[in-house]
Structure 1
Amino acid sequence: MKHYVATILILAIAAAGHESINRAHARAAQERPAQNVLDIPASIGRYKQVGADQEVEEEVQRMLQTSTVLVRNYAGPDGWPLQLTIVYAGTTRRSLHFPQVCLVGQGWEIREQTTMPVGFSFRAQRLVVVKGAQRQAVLYWFKTGERLTGDYFVNSWHWARNQLFSGAATSALVRLSAPIGNRDESAVFSLLEDFAAKFTPILMERVD
Structure 2
Amino acid sequence: MTWKRDLTVLGILVATLAMGEGLVASTALTTRARSSRTVPQGGNLMQDIPLAAGEWQGSDVPVREEVFEILETRNILQRRYVNHEDEIVFLDIVQSETDGRATHPPEVCYIGEGVEIVKKDRLNLNIGGSALIVNRLVVQDGGRQDLVLYWYKAGDLKTASYWGQQCGLLLRRLKGMGAQAALVRFSTHLGANSLESSQERIAGLAEALKYNLGI
Q: TM-score, normalised by structure 1?
A: 0.77
The one-letter code matched in structure 2 to 1:61 is: F
1:164 aligns with 2:189: no
The structure richer in helix per residue is 1
Percent of aligned positions with the same letter in both sequences?
28
Distance (Å, rounded) in 1 between the aligned partners of 2:174 and 2:181: 15
Equivalent pair of 1:45/1:198 in contact (CA under 8 Å): yes
The answer for the alignment partner of 2:67 in structure 1 is: 60
SS at match of 1:154: helix
Distance (Å, rounded) in 2 between the aligned partners of 1:168 and 1:45: 32
The answer for the alignment partner of 2:197 in structure 1 is: 187
Match of 2:47 among 38, 43, 48: 38
1:165 and 1:14, CA in 2 relative to 1: closer, same or farther beyond 3 A? Answer: same
Aligned-residue CA RMSD in angstroms?
2.5
Q: Which residues of 2 match residues 54-203 of structure 1 at below 5 A?
A: 54-119=61-126, 120-203=130-213
The one-letter code matched in structure 1 to 2:7 is: G
Computing the radius of gyration from Cα coordinates, the structure with the larger value is: 1
Equivalent pair of 1:76/1:191 in contact (CA under 8 Å): no
1:134 and 1:34, CA in 2 relative to 1: closer, same or farther beyond 3 A? Answer: same
Distance (Å, rounded) in 1 between the aligned partners of 2:86 and 2:64: 28
Structure with greater contact order relative to length (CA < 8 Å, sep ≥ 6): 2
Equivalent pair of 1:36/1:67 in contact (CA under 8 Å): no
Aligned length: 180
Structure 1 runs not aligned, ≥5 long? 1-12, 21-31
Equivalent pair of 2:48/2:212 in contact (CA under 8 Å): no
Cα shift at 1:162: 1.0
Equivalent pair of 1:118/1:197 in contact (CA under 8 Å): no
1:48 aligns with 2:57: yes
Q: TM-score, normalised by structure 2?
A: 0.75
Structure 2 runs not aligned, ≥5 long? 11-40
Distance (Å, rounded) in 1 between the aligned partners of 2:85 and 2:124: 23
Distance (Å, rounded) in 2 between the aligned partners of 1:36 and 1:62: 20
